């Protein structure tokens, strides 16, 4: 999952990049409000963690301005401001959740997963596509009940595609989901991960849409000819 972190405190910022990174989030970290708005304009994020006390502008103002952008991710305010007025204002300005510092890291993680789930219109913590079952919290995958071992990148790729089965995603879009800013990415990295993923899932899951991108979908099982009334009867020579 791709997450934007706006936090000016270097210690908290570094801790969160490390902690959330370890939990499978790709974190882009900015320390100023203006930088957050630029990042939101250019990158599709799943989640945004926003501090309110920022050096260049108030976090609530950043949030207000972000609402005018074409796409704004699910937002959690993480702030030392604990009075109800700030929480109410933040939520009324479009934030989806509010957590007061100091915070418990596991609670932050659980809230982020819950937020993301809700933003995808899911109640089920598991992502299910046909026989495929993905657990974004434990980062495990099972196909028809059998566990499949994936590398972290393969898992991220599968999750990004499985969240919207049938939606065609370009290699560039997938790349932006899998890597943080400044990561050196080989030009064929996505194709390589897709190749490995296809091998592990078997045929009929990952589909290449010529000139556009890739999608995940369980191919319909072929109907045996005998059961298919639309099939013409075989002609005898």
Site residues, Ca ion (CB under 5 A): 8, 51, 53
Enter the tokens of residue 65. 């301005």
Nearest approach in angstroms of CB 155 to Ca ion is 32
Nearest approach in angstroms of CB 65 to Ca ion is 18
Nearest approach in angstroms of CB 21 to Ca ion is 21
Nearest approach in angstroms of CB 95 to Ca ion is 16
Residue closer to Ca ion by CB (options 102, 232) is 102
Nearest approach in angstroms of CB 79 to Ca ion is 8
Given strand 26-30, what is the order of strands in its sheet? 26-30, 2-6, 47-50, 74-79, 97-100
Nearest approach in angstroms of CB 51 to Ca ion is 4
Residue closer to Ca ion by CB (options 56, 131) is 56
Give the β-pairing of 140-143 and 132-135.
antiparallel
On the 0-12 / 13-18 / 19+ scale of CB atoms within 10 A, 148 is middle
Residue closer to Ca ion by CB (options 79, 159) is 79
Residue closer to Ca ion by CB (options 8, 175) is 8
What b/e readout covers 82-94, taking b as 16+ CB neighbours within 10 angstroms? eeeebbebbeebe
Residue closer to Ca ion by CB (options 55, 211) is 55
Nearest approach in angstroms of CB 13 to Ca ion is 9
Taking CB atoms within 8 Å and a gap of at least 24, the contacts of 71-75 are 71/40, 71/44, 72/40, 72/48, 73/4, 73/40, 73/44, 73/45, 73/46, 73/47, 73/48, 73/119, 74/46, 74/47, 74/48, 74/115, 74/116, 74/118, 74/119, 75/47, 75/48, 75/49, 75/50
Given strand 127-129, what is the order of strands in its sheet? 127-129, 132-135, 140-143, 146-148
Residue closer to Ca ion by CB (options 51, 154) is 51
Find the residue with minimal CB distance to Ca ion: 53
Residue closer to Ca ion by CB (options 49, 216) is 49
């Amino acid at each position: 999952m791709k997450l934007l972190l706006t936090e000016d405190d270097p210690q908290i910022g570094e801790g969160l990049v490390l902690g959330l990174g370890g939990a499978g989030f790709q974190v882009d970290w900015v320390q100023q409000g203006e930088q957050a708005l630029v990042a939101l304009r250019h990158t599709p994020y799943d989640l945004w963690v926003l501090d309110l006390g920022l050096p260049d502008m108030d976090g609530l103002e950043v949030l207000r301005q972000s609402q005018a952008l074409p796409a704004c991710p699910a937002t959690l305010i993480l702030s030392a401001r604990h009075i109800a007025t700030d929480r109410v204002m933040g939520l009324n300005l479009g934030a989806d959740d509010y957590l007061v510092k100091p915070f418990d890291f596991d609670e932050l993680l659980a809230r982020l997963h819950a937020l993301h789930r809700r933003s995808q219109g899911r109640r089920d913590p598991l992502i299910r596509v046909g026989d495929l079952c993905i657990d974004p919290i434990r980062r495990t995958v099972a196909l028809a009940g059998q566990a499949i071992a994936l590398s972290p990148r393969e898992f991220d790729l599968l999750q990004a595609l499985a969240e919207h089965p049938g939606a065609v995603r370009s290699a560039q879009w997938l790349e932006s989901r899998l890597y943080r800013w400044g990561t050196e990415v080989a030009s064929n990295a996505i194709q390589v991960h897709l190749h490995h993923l296809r091998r592990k899932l078997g045929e009929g899951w990952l589909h290449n849409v010529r000139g556009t991108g890739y999608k995940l979908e369980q191919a319909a099982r072929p109907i045996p000819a005998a059961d298919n009334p639309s099939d013409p009867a075989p002609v005898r020579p």
